[in-house]
């Protein structure tokens, strides 16, 4: 059987918060077994805590935001994806602001941070959610489905498609075994379109946004001088986001996720549907033969 994991050492970093345009200091710390991932707002009286789970989701506009009472933390998905990708079950995350810093727009800086902190094995067994029969959620032409997978791991097949006022269509499939997340998904950056910038600024969602923390796409293509890290980096980032959202289930998922034109809001609606369909999944001990998704 596979043991739960946390980190050995506390480490810190800082970076720009994309929503509020302010530097955010972040610290990661070991946590006891069965803690899950807990965010602590150190800038607020009483240091309020928010558990990263589906019940805590309060907003999904352009990112996943979790909250407890009046306390919220935004842009949690990249850090959560990195933690799941590194096989970390239990973690304390301290923040001195209302959002996780966007860093370079990918999970790579958090992977680097977790590697510095090193993995610690704990004296409690891991569990996983095993998909027993397909469950699907659709709305118009958007779709998310989870299917059983004979192998004890996670596979994701994802397609994005945009057609107006530009064309962007990308697909990617990845089966997570040791090293896959770190190599193929973690470095993929978030992206945005020039024609959306004014509206996102009006909504107060990208005050700290720049080409240093996102791919910017115009009518002529990618505007970032350095270009792309992968030819299909955008859809790879959508896979990264989906792993972060899946982690809100609180344990690894064994199955095949198929998504078409999904996003944070649609992902979370699907996960609610999944939890309601109790015949489609079961919780089992996580076998030591099953590789981490990283």
Is 192's pLDDT higher than 60?
A: yes
- In the predicted structure, residue 245 carries a pLDDT above the cut 70: yes
Q: What is the CA radius of gyration of the chain?
A: 18
The mean pLDDT value of the chain amounts to: 94
Q: How far is CA 131 from the centre of its chain?
A: 20
Residue range 28-73, pLDDT digits in tens = 999 999 999 999 999 999 999 999 999 999 999 889 999 999 999 9
Residue 195 vs residue 83, higher pLDDT:
83
pLDDT at 290: 45
Query: What whole-number distance in Å separates Cα of residue 122 and Cα of residue 143?
Result: 37
Q: Is position 172 annotated as part of the catalytic site? A: no
Mean pLDDT score, 90-107 = 98
Mean pLDDT of 262-285: 97
Range 4-16 average pLDDT: 98
Residue 155 has pLDDT above 80, yes or no: yes
Give me the pLDDT at residue 294, please.
47
Q: Give every strand in the sheet of 91-95, ordered side by side.
A: 11-16, 23-29, 91-95, 37-41, 49-51
Q: Tell me what pLDDT residue 257 has.
A: 98
- What confidence score (pLDDT) does residue 178 get? 81
Position 291 pLDDT exceeds 90? no
Predicted pLDDT of residue 288? 52
State residue 63's pLDDT score. 95
Tell how strand 253-260 and strand 127-131 pair up: parallel
What is the residue extent of each domain of the chain? 3-127, 128-285
pLDDT tens digit sequence for 168-182: 899 999 999 888 999
Whether 3-127 shares its CATH topology with 128-285 is answered no
Q: Write out the two tokens for 32.
A: 């006891």
Q: Has residue 293 got a pLDDT over 60?
A: no
Predicted pLDDT of residue 167: 72
Give the model's pLDDT for residue 168: 87
| Between residues 166 and 135, the one the model is more confident about | 135
Q: How far apart are CA 28 and CA 79, in angstroms?
A: 10
Q: For 109-144, how does the pLDDT look when each residue is reduced to its tens digit (9 = 90+)?
A: 999 999 999 999 999 999 999 999 999 999 999 999
The yes-or-no verdict on residue 164 having pLDDT over 80 is no
Q: Which CATH number fits domain 128-285: 3.90.1150.10, 3.20.20.70, 3.30.70.120, 3.30.1700.10?
A: 3.30.1700.10
Q: Which of 78, 237, 256, 264 is catalytic?
A: 264
Q: Would the pLDDT of 74 be above 70?
A: yes
Contact 240, 257 (CB under 8 A): no
In 10 A of CB 104, how many CB atoms?
16
pTM to 2 decimal places? 0.95
The third-level CATH classification (topology) of the domain covering 3-127 is Ribosomal Protein S5; domain 2 (3.30.230)
* Residue 101 reports pLDDT greater than 60: yes
Environment class of residue 9 by beta-carbon count within 10 Å: exposed (0-12), middle (13-18) or buried (19+)?
A: exposed
């Amino acid at each position: 059987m596979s043991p739960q994991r946390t980190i050995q050492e506390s480490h810190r970093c800082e970076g720009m918060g994309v929503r509020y345009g302010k530097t955010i200091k972040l610290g990661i710390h070991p946590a006891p077994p069965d803690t899950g991932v807990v965010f602590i707002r150190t800038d607020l009286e009483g240091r309020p805590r928010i558990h990263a789970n589906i019940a805590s989701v309060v907003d999904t506009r352009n990112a996943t935001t979790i909250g407890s009472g009046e306390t919220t933390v935004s842009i949690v998905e990249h850090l959560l994806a990195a933690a799941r990708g590194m096989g970390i079950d239990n973690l304390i995350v301290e923040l001195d602001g209302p959002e996780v810093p966007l860093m370079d727009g990918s999970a790579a800086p958090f992977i680097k941070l977790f590697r510095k902190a090193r993995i610690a094995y704990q004296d409690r067994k891991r569990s996983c959610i095993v998909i027993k029969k397909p469950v699907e959620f659709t709305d118009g032409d958007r779709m998310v489905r989870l299917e059983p997978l004979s192998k004890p791991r996670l596979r994701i097949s994802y397609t994005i498609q945009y057609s107006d006022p530009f064309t962007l269509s990308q697909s990617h499939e990845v089966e997570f075994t040791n090293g896959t997340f770190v190599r193929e998904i973690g470095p993929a950056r978030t992206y945005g379109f020039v024609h959306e910038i004014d509206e996102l600024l009006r909504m107060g969602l990208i005050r700290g946004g720049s080409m240093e923390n996102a791919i910017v796409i115009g009518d002529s293509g990618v505007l970032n001088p350095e270009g792309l890290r992968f030819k299909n980096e955008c859809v790879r980032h959508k896979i990264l986001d989906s792993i972060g959202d899946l982690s809100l289930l609180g344990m690894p998922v064994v199955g095949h996720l198929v998504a078409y034109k999904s996003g944070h809001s649609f992902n979370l609606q699907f996960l609610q549907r999944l939890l309601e369909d109790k015949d489609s999944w079961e919780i089992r001990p996580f076998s030591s033969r099953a590789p981490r998704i990283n």
